[in-house]
């Protein structure tokens, strides 16, 4: 399978979740075993030699490939969730996104200074969610941070909000 096959397997949904937004739907990749396996292989090959010790998945589509990649890398998995979803003490970060304001949280004991962290999400659009996640992760002072997306919408320039010292990769750029 090729990157082009993965790209052609994506679905776009106009006016979701509100009018004027073109939503890039990765569920079409997740339901196809061949696409799912190919994505896992691509992600693993990018990060297998980076010393990743924790993968942070962003709610909710970062919870699909994030744990699979963490298992394959021999790393732990950390959930970055919406408020009120994590049962223990958390740290929080609020941010603006293209259709409103939101907050994400991580357990206060989820990451240590010895960790090399990979933040993973399905999509980079305007960058608000992942920039908030990067600010949260930075509070733990890990050794290094990498950031990954399945899809990056280049015209929205979300990459500009990401930390300059983080290695940022995207499987597909549209």
- Catalytic residues, by residue number, are 61, 98
Closest CA relative to residue 43, chosen from 59, 62, 22, 66 = 66
DSSP reduced 3-state for 105: strand
Q: Where are the alpha helices (DSSP H) in 23-152?
A: 27-30, 33-47, 62-73, 128-138
Could you report how far apart the first and last alpha carbons of the chain are, in Å? 19
Spatial CB neighbours of 28, under 8 Å, sequence gap ≥ 6: 9, 10, 11, 35
């Amino acid at each position: 399978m090729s990157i082009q096959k993965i790209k052609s397997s994506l679905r776009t949904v106009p006016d979701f979740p509100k009018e004027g937004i073109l939503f890039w739907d990765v569920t079409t990749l997740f339901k196809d075993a061949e696409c799912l396996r190919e994505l896992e292989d691509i992600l693993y090959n990018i990060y297998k030699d980076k010393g990743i010790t924790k993968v942070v998945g962003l709610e909710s589509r970062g919870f699909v490939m994030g744990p699979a990649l963490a298992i394959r890398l021999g790393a732990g998995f950390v959930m970055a969730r919406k408020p009120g979803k994590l049962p223990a003490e958390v740290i929080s970060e609020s941010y603006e996104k293209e259709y409103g304001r939101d907050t994400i949280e991580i357990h206060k004991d989820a990451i240590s200074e010895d960790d090399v962290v990979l933040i993973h999400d399905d999509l980079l659009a305007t960058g608000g969610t992942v920039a908030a996640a990067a600010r949260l992760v930075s509070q733990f002072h890990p050794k290094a941070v990498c950031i990954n997306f399945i899809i990056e919408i280049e015209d929205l320039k979300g990459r500009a909000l990401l930390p300059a010292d983080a290695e940022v990769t995207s499987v597909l750029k549209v």
